[in-house]
Amino acid sequence: MKVIIVGGGKIGYYLAKTLMEHGHKPTIIEKDRELCSHLATQLDITTFCGDGSSKDILEDAHAGDANALVCVTGSDQDNLICCQLGKHEFHIPQTIARVNNPKNMEVMKKLGVDIPISSTDTIARLVEREIDVSRFRHLLSLNRGEASINEIQIPEGSALHGKLLMEISLPAECVIVSITRDGKFIIPRGFTQLMEKDLLLIVAQNTVLHEIEKLFSKLA
């Protein structure tokens, strides 16, 4: 997935690095020319030097092709304007803004930001969960965001079709709670056979969510 990150500071840097490690294609927009050069060298990704709240810069970054726009500058006003431009001018499916002042959280929501977030630690996982809604859906956070309950559907042509649950290598920090198949509710055991189009309910620590999604999305 293509993600445009506006703001190349510490948060933007680590977000881009995390997304790259997970196989995504981030692009960074940053005002500071020296920082732009540093990011391009360190991460070996496309960077644009300019104001992310400018329509011209977003156009240069091919914002119309992006799956998500994540604005993490130190200015709530810039983050808001950037998200509004991304949504209304370029029709980006998901806009996510860092909220530096928690008092601005509700204002951001009312003014059209899809996901305003003040806790920067979870931004990378949040981006992946919100974009890939077709297979993986976050339902509920547990223990202050340390773990979560999620739905994931096994795609057609999956490499796991026909395998027994005991035959797949699930992370230790993950439990499959139930399987829904053709409207039938199944409590799984080790000998339960997995089938394409199965809808699984999974409880897992958030640190292994990407590993789980990758496992269940493999095709034969």
- At residue 134, the pLDDT reads 46
**82 and 152 inside one domain:** no
Residue 157, Ramachandran bin (φ over 0: left; ψ between -120 and 50: alpha; else beta): left
Verify that 46 and 102 share a domain, yes or no. Answer: yes
Q: Is the domain of 192 the same as that of 108? A: no
Q: For the purposes of burial, counting CB atoms within 10 Å of the CB of 132, is it exposed (0-12), middle (13-18) or buried (19 or more)? A: middle
- In 40-146 the beta strands, taken as DSSP E runs, fall at 47-49, 68-71, 94-98, 115-117, 136-142
- Same structural domain for residues 12 and 113? yes
Query: Each residue's pLDDT tens digit in the chain (220 positions)?
Result: 889 999 998 888 888 887 887 778 899 999 999 999 888 888 888 999 999 999 999 999 999 999 999 999 999 999 999 999 999 999 999 899 988 888 888 889 889 898 888 755 456 555 655 545 446 777 777 776 688 888 898 988 889 999 999 999 999 999 999 999 998 999 999 999 999 999 999 999 888 887 888 888 777 6
Last residue of a domain, one of 131, 158, 189: 131
Distance of alpha carbon 115 from alpha carbon 134, whole angstroms = 18
pLDDT at 105: 85
Whole-structure pTM value: 0.61
Same domain, 121 and 141: no
CATH classification at residue 99: 3.40.50.720
Q: State the CATH number of the domain containing residue 189.
A: 3.30.70.1450
- Exposed/middle/buried for residue 102 (C-beta within 10 Å: 0-12, 13-18, 19+): exposed
Q: Domain of 50?
A: 2-131
**Do 170 and 196 have their domain in common?**
yes
pLDDT value, residue 123: 60
Kindly state whether residues 145 and 121 are assigned to the same domain. Answer: no
The CA-to-CA distance between both ends of the chain, in Å, stands at: 21
Q: What's the confidence (pLDDT) of residue 144?
A: 66
Query: Total domain count for the chain?
Result: 2
* Domain finish residue from 96, 131, 166: 131
Within this chain, do residues 159 and 101 fall inside the same structural domain, yes or no?
Answer: no
Give the separation between CA 108 and CA 100, rounded to whole angstroms: 11
Residues 27 and 99 placed together within one structural domain of the fold = yes
Residues 200 and 107 occupy one common structural domain: no
Looking at the fold, whether 32 and 124 belong to one and the same domain comes out as yes
Residues 86 and 144 in one domain: no
* Final residue before a domain boundary, out of 100, 131, 162: 131
